[in-house]
Amino acid sequence: MRERQKQILQLLDTSGPRLHRLLGRLTRREDVIGDLLQELFLRLWNSRAFDKVEDPFAYAYRTAINLVFEWRRRQQIACQPVEGKYPAARDNPSTLGKMIQAEELEQVLDATSRLSELARDVVVMRYIEQDSYEEIAERLGKKPQHVRSVCAKAMAQLREALTREKV
């Protein structure tokens, strides 16, 4: 047990800041990141699969994405933007513009939450974390061309979902 505790604490030290930032990006709420980070590491602690994974960070990364989208579903309401952390809306620097932008960001994240788990992971890694297809493929144990194809299909689904919402 001590060895396991050591391994997970080590992961927290080395990858905690990146996972924390990912949770922040996907929730857009600084007030909940702490709770989610704590829940994430408790899940890793209770996970049997964690002992067997070759890449603990990749496993934690995917668990974090799952966790945050579970949280988003529970919320079911638009979250407030993080004060002062986002650049002003491109064409709308006013307060109203910021509100519109916040709504737009929520829409795209909510649409992402309705994708399949694989598509969701790929979209987050590609567009939010800006990982390369090769990095994503390695992390997910897939081939880069498969990841590209999943990404393209996911983008088409997002476009369709967001177009529907615009009507």
List residues near other proteins by CB under 8 A: 1, 5, 8-9, 12, 16-17, 20-21, 24-26, 28, 30, 33-34, 37-38, 40-43, 45-52, 70, 73-74, 82, 85-87, 90, 101, 104-105, 107-109, 116-118, 123, 127-130, 155, 158-159, 162-163, 166-167
20 or 148: whose CB is closer to other proteins?
20
Instruction: Kindly tell me which of 17 and 134 has the beta carbon lying closer to other proteins.
Output: 17
Q: How far is the CB of 128 from other proteins (least distance, A)?
A: 5
Supply the minimum distance, in Å, between the C-beta of residue 113 and other proteins: 10
Token pair belonging to 24:
């922040």
Give the tokens for residue 83.
């004060």
* CB 33 within 8 Å of CB 24: yes
**Smallest separation (angstroms) from other proteins to the CB of 125:** 11
Minimum distance from residue 134 beta carbon to other proteins (Å): 19
Please count the residues of the chain: 167
DSSP string over 5-59: HHHHHHHHHHHHHHHHHHHHHHH--HHHHHHHHHHHHHHHHH-SGGGT-S-HHHH
- Per the CB < 8 A criterion, the answer to whether 98 and 78 are in contact is no
For other proteins, give the closer residue by CB, 104 or 134.
Answer: 104
Q: Which two tokens stand for residue 88?
A: 């002003």
Nearest to 25 by CA among 58, 69, 63, 56: 69
CB of residue 129 to other proteins, shortest distance in Å:
7
Residue whose CB is less far from other proteins, 49 or 134: 49
> Which residue lies nearer to other proteins by CB, 116 or 134?
116
Among the listed residues 113, 31, 108, the one whose alpha carbon sits nearest the alpha carbon of residue 68:
113
Question: What are the phi and psi torsion angles at 153 (to 5°)?
Answer: -65, -40
